Amino acid sequence: MKPFKTEKYTDFTKAVNRKKMEKAIAHVESQFGKEYSIIIGGKRIRLDNKFHSYNPSKKGEIIGTFQKADEQAAEQAMQVALETFESWRYTPAKTRASYLFKMANIMRRRRFELNAWMVLEEGKNWLEADADVAEAIDFCDYYAHEALRYDKGPNLYKFPGEINRQVYIPLGVGIVIPPWNFPLAILAGMTTAAFVSGNTVILKPSSDSPGIAAMFMEIVEEAKVPVGVVNFLTGPGAIAGDYLVRHPKTRFVAFTGSKPVGLRIVEQAGKTQPGQIWIKRVVAEMGGKDLIIVDSEADIDSAVAGVRTAAFSFQGQKCSACSRLILDDKIYDEFMKKFIPTVEAIKVGPVSEYDNYVGPVINESAYDSILEYIKIGKSEGNCVCGGESAPGDGWFIRPTVIVDIERQHRIFQEEIFGPVLGVTRARNFDHAIELANDSEYGLTGAVYTKNKKKIEKAKREVFVGNLYINRKCTGALVGIQPFGGFNMSGTDSKAGGPDYLMLFTQAKAITEYIGRKRKIRKKPVRKSKK
Ligand code: NAD
C-alpha cells in the first residue's frame, strides 16, 4: 500500500490538458436533459415529482432531470440502510477501505469528465473544478488509510492477567447532507468517512448539484460497493431532510451547509423520538465570515495576490472565502493602490471558457441576495470596485470591494456567500486582532506580517479553526490542514484530519481475563551423594 499523498492539480497551461477539458465539456453537454433516478438498495427508482438542475452560466439551460424524493422514498431508503447495516458493520476494515482506494482510482480516470460537470452545473472555473476533484480523490485515499489505522486501535497500558483492547465500531445508519459548493469533494468526504467506518448511508445532495452527485453514485457502483451501503435520494432538503433527521432509527447526521439549516438540524436531531434508544450524533459544519489581516510589516505584493484569490475565486462562494479584509492604517493606501487594479482586471463570464476566472453565482436567489447585500454595503460604506451585475446570460456579478466598513455593519458580520469584500481599517495590530475576533463565526483567517512577535500573537489570539500565516485563507489540503471552525461555523469536525473518523464510530473497550500466570517454584534439586 502506497503512503497517502495529495493529488496533483492538472496543468491547464499545457495545450494537451486544455484539449482534454474542452472534449470533456462537450461530452457532458451532450448528456444534458437526461433523467436520473434515486437509488435505494441498488434499485433505480423514478417518482412522479421531478425537478431540474440548471447551468448557472446560461439561465434556463437544463442540465438534467431528477426525482423529488418524498417521505415514502425516505422510509424505504431507511429500511434498506438498516438491513444492510447488519452485514456491512462486520465487514473487515481492509475490505471497506479497498472500495475507497478503487473509488479514488476511478475518479483519477474520470477526472476531466468530473471537472466538466462542475464547470457546467456549479459554474466552477477549470482550476477550481479540478481542485474539487483532487480533494475528493484525497478524501477517498486518506479515509481508507485512516480506517486501517483506526482498525489497529490505540495503545493501552498492560495489566497483569488481562488482555485489554479498544476497538472502534460503527454507529448505524447516517444521513449525509452536503452543500452544493464543493459538490464532489465534501459529498465524497462525508459519505466515504461514514461508510468506511462501517455505517450505512442515506445521501441527500443539494438540489443545486444533483448531477455531480449522480456521477458520484456511478463511481460507488463502479467500485462495486455492496448495494444498500450508500442510498441516494434527491429532492428538497426540508422534506427528505427533516423526515430523516427526525427518524428514530437515524443514528447520526453529517451535515455541511449554512448556519440556519445546520442549527435546525441540531435542534431536530436533539429531540428524542418515540422508540429512539440513542443520542443522535450531529456533525455540522456551517458558514464563515473569514478574514485576512494585512499588517504594517507585511509583504504587500504577496498579500494582494492572496486576498484576491481568497475573496474572488469561485465567486467568493467558499465557506473559507475572505469577506473581511482588515488593513493596518499605515499600509492602507499602498495596499489598495495595488489591489484594486488586480480586481478590476478579473474576467467574468461563462466558465466553460478557460479565460474566465470568475463565473456565475449558483442561482437566481443567490444572485438576488448578493445584489441586495451590495446595496446594503453601499449604504454602510463606499463601493470602490464592481458593485453591480456583469453582462451575460448567466447569474454574473462583478467582484465587488466596499471600503469604510465598520464592525457593527451587516457587511462585516453576515455571511454573503458571493464576490463581495468589505474593507476595514485597523489602528494597529492589536486592533486588527480585536476586529478579526468580532464575529459569531470562527472558520478561517489569515495574517500577513513579517514580524515574528506578531506572528506568535496571531497564533495565540486569532480565534478561528484554520489559521494561515503569510498565505491565503482558502485551499485547505486533506491530511495536511484538517478543516473545521469554531462557534457558529460548526462542530469543528476537522474534516481530512486524524480525528475525523472518530466522529463516525464509537469506542468499545474489551477486557479479556486470562488469569495471572502463577509462578511455579522449582524444587531445589538435591544432588545425589553417590
Ligand atoms: P444550505 O444550508 O442551503 O444547504 C445544505 C444542504 O442542506 C443541502 O443539501 C440542502 O438540500 C440541505 N437542506 C436544506 N434544508 C434542509 C432541511 N430543512 N433539513 C435537512 N437538510 C436540508 O447550504 P448551501 O447553500 O448548500 O451551501 C452553502 C453554505 O454552506 C454556506 O453557508 C457555506 O459557508 C457552508 N459551507 C460550509 C463548509 C464548512 O466546512 N464549514 C463547507 C462548504 C460550505
Q: What Rg, from alpha-carbon coordinates, does the chain have?
A: 26
In this predicted model, what pLDDT tens digit does every residue of 91-130 receive, in sequence order? 999 999 999 999 999 999 999 999 999 999 999 999 999 9
The answer, yes or no, to whether residue 420 has pLDDT greater than 70, is: yes
Q: Of all residues in the chain, what percent carry a pLDDT higher than 90?
A: 95
Which of 113, 285, 322, 415 is the catalytic position? Answer: 285
What DSSP string runs through 293-316? EE-TTS-HHHHHHHHHHHHHGGGG
Q: Which protein residue's CA is at the shortest distance from atom 43 of ligand 1?
A: 319
Pocket of ligand 1 (CB under 6 A): 177-182, 186, 205-207, 237-238, 241-242, 245, 256-258, 261, 264-265, 285-288, 319, 415, 417, 443, 485, 489-490
The answer, yes or no, to whether residue 240 has pLDDT greater than 80, is: no
Torsion sign (Cα): 117, 122, 128, 134: negative
Q: Which protein residue's CA is at the shortest distance from atom 22 of ligand 1?
A: 237
- Cell digits of residue 284: 455540522
Q: How far, in Å, is the centroid of ligand 1 from the Cα of 362?
A: 13
In this predicted model, what pLDDT tens digit does every residue of 296-343 receive, in sequence order? 999 999 999 999 999 999 999 999 999 999 999 999 999 999 999 999
Give, for ligand 1, the residue of 319, 323, 365, 395 to mutate: max count of ligand atoms closer than 8 Å to Cβ: 319
- Cell digits of residue 120: 457546467
Q: Angle at which helices 15-30 and 111-122 pack, to 10 degrees?
A: 60
Q: Which protein residue's CA is at the shortest distance from atom 14 of ligand 1?
A: 237
The secondary structure element, H or E, covering residue 39 is strand 38-40
Q: How far, in Å, is the centroid of ligand 1 from the Cα of 178?
A: 6
Residue 259 Cα: closest atom of ligand 1: 32
pLDDT bracket for residue 239 (50, 70, 90): confident
Rounded to whole angstroms, how far apart are CA atoms 187 and 182? Answer: 7
| Segment 471-481 mean pLDDT | 98
The answer, yes or no, to whether residue 479 has pLDDT greater than 70, is: yes
What are the angstrom distances between the C-alpha of 518 and each of 50, 160, 161, 515?
A: 72, 11, 10, 9
E strand map for 342-487: 382-385, 400-403, 420-426, 441-442, 444-448, 466-469, 486-487
Rounded to whole angstroms, how far apart are CA atoms 465 and 487? Answer: 9
Considering only residues 240 and 59, tell me which one the structure prediction assigns the higher pLDDT.
Answer: 59
Q: How far, in Å, is the centroid of ligand 1 from the Cα of 417?
A: 12
Residue positions counted in the chain = 530
C-alpha dihedral, 133 to 138 to 144 to 145, nearest 10°: 170
pLDDT confidence of residue 302:
98
Residue 362 Cα: closest atom of ligand 1: 25
pLDDT confidence of residue 527:
63
Catalytic status, residue 383: no
| Segment 138-156 mean pLDDT | 98
**Mean of per-residue pLDDT scores for the chain:** 96
Residue 417 Cα: closest atom of ligand 1: 31
- Cell digits of residue 268: 431536530
Residue 489 Cα: closest atom of ligand 1: 41
In this predicted model, what pLDDT tens digit does every residue of 333-372 receive, in sequence order? 999 999 999 999 999 999 999 999 999 999 999 999 999 9
User: For residue 145, which amino acid is it?
Assistant: H
Burial class of residue 393 (count of CB atoms within 10 Å of its CB; 0-12, 13-18, 19+): middle
Catalytic status, residue 512: no
pLDDT confidence of residue 524:
66
- Cell digits of residue 328: 493596518
Give, for ligand 1, the residue of 132, 261, 318, 324 to mutate: max count of ligand atoms closer than 8 Å to Cβ: 261
The answer, yes or no, to whether residue 529 has pLDDT greater than 60, is: no
pLDDT bracket for residue 499 (50, 70, 90): very high
Q: How far, in Å, is the centroid of ligand 1 from the Cα of 206?
A: 8
Return the biggest CA–CA distance within the chain.
115
- Contact yes or no for 173/199 (Cβ under 8 A): yes
Rounded to whole angstroms, how far apart are CA atoms 389 and 358? Answer: 12
Q: How far, in Å, is the centroid of ligand 1 from the Cα of 266?
A: 13
pLDDT confidence of residue 526:
67
The answer, yes or no, to whether residue 520 has pLDDT greater than 70, is: no
Q: What domains sit in the chain, N to C, each tagged with a CATH number?
A: 15-286+490-511 (3.40.605.10), 290-469 (3.40.309.10)
Q: How far, in Å, is the centroid of ligand 1 from the Cα of 256?
A: 5
pLDDT confidence of residue 43:
98
Residue 206 Cα: closest atom of ligand 1: 9
This prediction has a pTM of 0.96
φ and ψ of 150, to 5 deg = -60, -35
The answer, yes or no, to whether residue 256 has pLDDT greater than 70, is: yes
pLDDT confidence of residue 525:
65
Rounded to whole angstroms, how far apart are CA atoms 201 and 67? Answer: 18
